[in-house]
Amino acid sequence: MLPGSIQISGETLSSAEIRDICESLRENSIKLLSLRGCQLSDRDFGRICKGVAESHSLAQLNLNLGIVSNINRVKQLAEALKTNRSVQSLFLHGSPLTDAGLAILNPALSIHPSLVALDLGDCMLGDEGINLICGLLPPDGAKSGLKELTLSANSGITPKGWGRLAIAVAHSSQVRVLNLDYNPLGDQIAAMLAVSVASSRTLEVLDLEGTGLTNQSAMILLDMVENYPTALKTLILAENNISPELQQQISDLLSEGEEDDETVNHEVMAREKNSWICQSNSSSQMVLVTSGLGESLLAETEM
């Protein structure tokens, strides 16, 4: 049987429910565990963490809205993640981590072999927390890093911290989705982020909703989208002091970029198909046998 999911929101969990969840974790029958905004004792939270440590099937762990409510729970979660090897997405939105809590959690996040999505929105982070997060966005040639990062509503981060993140994103070879909504960024930070987007080869989604932007930064972003090829497909600018006309221009240009990409992909596929037909019709055929991931040539036989 394929692993399923357990999703509970805003409830007070009984010991019996905790026992069932832990048993499912140990039996590797859960792929997604979401306990969003639930109430449970410190003892039961520790039991959940032990189950997470033992699970080989768990891919998504959602502890949003205050589940990780104190330093002791942060420590328990960190120990679980040091052992766990399967979690790909970790959501801690609305947890009072602070920089001190993230410092405890960071070593486990840094060495986790599968983690690609991290939500630290509304976690009371500051510049020290940003320094730690930048370590999870390794530069080109380093180990695999985060592909999706959410830092919504962390108002304690200063322009210096955002500047450092912008540099890390510009040099990250992995990050595809960056959610910075509801932070007081302003036009200066938006201009730095525009440089990051222009430099990144992978960033596809940037959420700047409610970040104090004006037409000034929108014009910079428009110029970037219009004149520089980027991987960006979605730019969210709602709830900013930006004219609807500018927002529409940016949206239209991004849509045009997606259409161009689709045209190129179709042309490449057509060329590859024609090339294969020509090779098939030749008198001497070459059969290449490769691994499923295409990593190496396993055999080459001339027929």
Burial class of residue 74, CB neighbours in 10 A (0-12, 13-18, 19+)? buried
For the chain, the average pLDDT equals 86
Q: What pLDDT score was predicted for residue 13?
A: 95
Query: Do 56 and 29 meet the contact criterion of CB atoms below 8 Å apart?
Result: no
Q: What pLDDT score was predicted for residue 3?
A: 73
d(CA 54, CA 86): 10
d(CA 215, CA 107): 41
Q: Flag residues of the chain having pLDDT under 70.
A: 1-2, 140-143, 257-303
- Listed as own residue / partner, the contacts of 9-12 with beta carbons closer than 8 Å and 24 or more positions apart are 9/34, 9/36, 9/37, 9/38, 10/36, 10/37, 10/38, 11/38, 11/39, 12/38, 12/39, 12/40
Burial class of residue 182, CB neighbours in 10 A (0-12, 13-18, 19+)? buried
pLDDT digits (tens, 9 = 90+) for 134-171: 999 987 655 678 999 999 999 999 999 999 999 999 98
Q: Residue 257 corresponds to which tokens in the numbers above?
A: 């970029």
Q: What is the pTM of this model?
A: 0.84
Q: What pLDDT score was predicted for residue 133?
A: 97
Q: What pLDDT score was predicted for residue 121?
A: 98
- Residue 109 has, within 13 A of its CA and on its CB side, a CA count of 28
Domains of the chain: 1-115 (3.80.10.10), 133-263 (3.80.10.10)
d(CA 225, CA 203): 13
Tokens 């290449």 map to which residue? Answer: 288
pLDDT digits (tens, 9 = 90+) for 3-50: 799 999 999 999 999 999 999 999 999 999 999 999 999 999 999 999
